Structure 1
Amino acid sequence: MDVLSDLLHRARARNTQIRQLIHRPPWSMTFAEAPPLTVVAALGGHASVRLDDDPEVAPVRLAAGDVALISGIDRYTISDAPDTPPQVVVRGGRKQVIDSGTAARQSLAPRTYGDGLPGATTLLRGAYELRGDVGERLLETLPRLAVVPTEPRTRAALDLLAAEVAREEPGQDAVLNRLLDLLLVLALRAWCARPQAELPSWYRALATPAVGEALRMLHEDPAHRWTVAELAARVGQSRAAFAARFTGVVGEPPLTYLTGWRMALAADLLRDTEETVAAVARAVGYADAFAFSVAFKRARGVSPSGWRRKDGQDGGSGQEG
């Protein structure tokens, strides 16, 4: 499993939400306390996306078939035009109507809301509630705002998602979640394939011979007692050449990356399971619980037991319901 696939698999929470929104202009919705990662796509009509947390980023326009990825933003607005005042604020899953003259939004079908009137814009919005430290690592790899113009592969995935979102059949949530993942990955690929793209380090790493393979091995078996020499031998390079190449592409040496990945996995195991500290240590590659505790405290500033107590006092994973 490659790095992006592994991060998506481990970071995805169960309460992913997918909604179809149908609004006739003028309309505007602000999402406050927004989820960490959102996929917005225009099925018909057009829309404007504005990052309220980052006014230096100009609003972007979505035409039919375009996909926007929004990550690491606490507040953003989707509207028919950049200057349309917010009519509704969504916070914690609840809507607050600001404009009393706003037309009533009603449920039109499963997961489908709006006015359903002629001339309306139809949007798909998929929100990911990412969990824990692995979720944070995933967000670090993503752009804050990326717009992917319509193209054949993303359009095909979008059409499949649009065909399923208003249905209510056995296994529907599983189908929708997998289609949303497909759209996300295809959109990221398309965004990174642009000639002018400034590629994130994870994408450069996956596409770099030897480095991408080494990352795959580290993610597939983080508990293995990896050495730089073994990684280099497995990818067919000298130790020095491999270490230099890995560090140059990823931005940190192989074993530093491995330690960071292990600590992220451990933090989430401590948060989400009742495994003992010794069991968590073994799961992430430490035979000695004491050595693990020292490494964890160095990385997180608190012991594994202290981390678990602190997380419990903070109310679990901190996800919104």
Structure 2
Amino acid sequence: MNRVTTLFGTRYPIVQAGMVWASGWRLASAVSNAGGLGLIGAGSMYPDVLREHIRKCKAATDAPYGVNIPLLYPDIDKHIDIVLAERVPIVFTSAGNPKTWTGMLKEKGVTVVHVVSSALFARKAEQAGCDAVVAEGFEAGGHNGREETTTLVLVPEVCASVSIPVIAAGGIATGRGMLAAMVLGASGVQMGSRFVASEEASSHIAFKNAVLAAKEGDTFLTMKQLTPVRLLVNAFYKAVRAAEARGANPEELQALLGNGRAKKGMFEGDLDEGELEIGQVSALLHEILPAGDIVRRVWKEFQEALQNPTDFT
């Protein structure tokens, strides 16, 4: 038992991130059944769809699970109402001000965790009443921090700044990566990209295979004028990069992004014109595995690395 497993009631201090278009009830329940904390990603779901996924997740696992809610999306109040009505025990919030909903969620008995990209925002999350924070480094995919602080630097900064548990994220996909984060002071890890390359992830197989094919340097942080995201290089990314290079303003970038670009890429498998959000650690991923096997493998690797931290044979 550690601070994260005690807080969530899980067997392992391993959290599956609530990635848009990847984290449905199948993935969340599989991770939770394996001893980690599975999260349903509400960011790509209409309210009625979120309710359906929560109910199916509850039917598929008796273990703790949660919902990730990006605060920048519309219908947040409806998502919050559904989370409360369905008695979701744990909520992760991101991409917004934690003060907006944390107090009300806590009053209803919900455990609240907020994702941060700086020590400053970690302190604000603690002041807002959050039970823990996810310190997500620059290496991560999806919504990212403008500060471009790496996990190696961010985690100890955040750990020194707050008294609540810190969960490390960004660039972690192995047991050795998990051990490194724990040595830096984290009480657990959150992994996104590793679980995109899982059998239960709802993302398109073409996107999963593109993730496996990614090499070092194939992802870049972009759209910092809007909400920063790390993307695989494709035609859409090149168009964004060209627009930024010529000084496009946020309105022009938003028009280029349009509606449904992430769905087109990650859920429908359009590898040219879709938005392909993934972390730098994709370069270390080489196979699609069942989510439960991922949890068990990472924990086994962690235990082995703990016993032999410098043994690379």
TM over 0.5: no
Structure richer in strand, relative to its length: 1
Structure having the higher Rg: 1
TM-score norm. by structure 1 comes to 0.29
